[in-house]
Chain A
């Protein structure tokens, strides 16, 4: 099955700085890569996703890049704000198949 690794497990940045979280996957059949934000006591919330036919996708301060050859994808958050503090999960899936999640990154944005 798929194996998704996520780094770092914790990340602290100053408000206004950028944050980058990286994930690698093992199954070359994986073609969908979502990122979720989970706040304390809540369920994960989809914030951005990318499919394997695209190399980069951006939504305001959030961007995701995908390198299919190297089997890794990254989440980039620019101009971080305290409300960005949460646990972020990456995931990988192939069409109509299992979702495999990374182990999560706890992001703290220091005001």
Chain B
């Protein structure tokens, strides 16, 4: 198995632009998690899905952030409009059950 696939690996954008991060989960994994990692705040769970349904989005920082999972093979995390404080590494993780998560390689986002 190829593991969790994230794209792009690096994204540099200007403030105010829309950013879309993508994740392809491991086949057969029913849970999908989006995390953000920064030096200041560490690893934060933003939102997670079970069987394509958002279960808990309490970690989403504000309305500028949205996440979707249209099918079992694909999820997106969108930031619109982006701000410099959104600069971070964003990870997607998936699992068969709630625990034992497998993380992707991450997307490093820089907003200038």
- Using a Cβ–Cβ cut-off of 8 Å, how many residues does chain A contribute to the interface with B? 23
Kindly identify which residue among B44, B98, B102 contacts A96, using a CB–CB cutoff of 8 Å.
Answer: B98
How far in angstroms is the closest Cβ of chain A from B66? 19
Kindly identify which residue among A34, A36, A42, A89 contacts B99, using a CB–CB cutoff of 8 Å.
Answer: A34
How far in angstroms is the closest Cβ of chain A from B100? 6
From A41, A49, A99, A103, name the one whose CB has the most chain B CB atoms within 10 angstroms.
A99
- Interface: A98 (CB within 8 A): yes
Could you show 24 A-B contacts with beta carbons less than 8 Å apart? A34-B100, A34-B101, A36-B103, A41-B105, A42-B105, A43-B91, A43-B93, A43-B106, A44-B91, A46-B101, A46-B102, A49-B99, A49-B100, A89-B42, A93-B98, A97-B56, A98-B58, A98-B59, A99-B45, A99-B101, A100-B45, A101-B44, A102-B42, A104-B42
A-B pairs with beta carbons under 8 A, tally: 47
Q: Which residues of A does B touch, CB under 8 Å?
A: 32, 34, 36, 41-46, 49, 89, 91, 93, 95-104
Q: Give bound CA distance, A89 to B44, whole Å.
A: 12
In the complex, chain B residues 57-112 whose Cβ is within 8 Å of any chain A Cβ? 58-59, 91, 93, 98-106
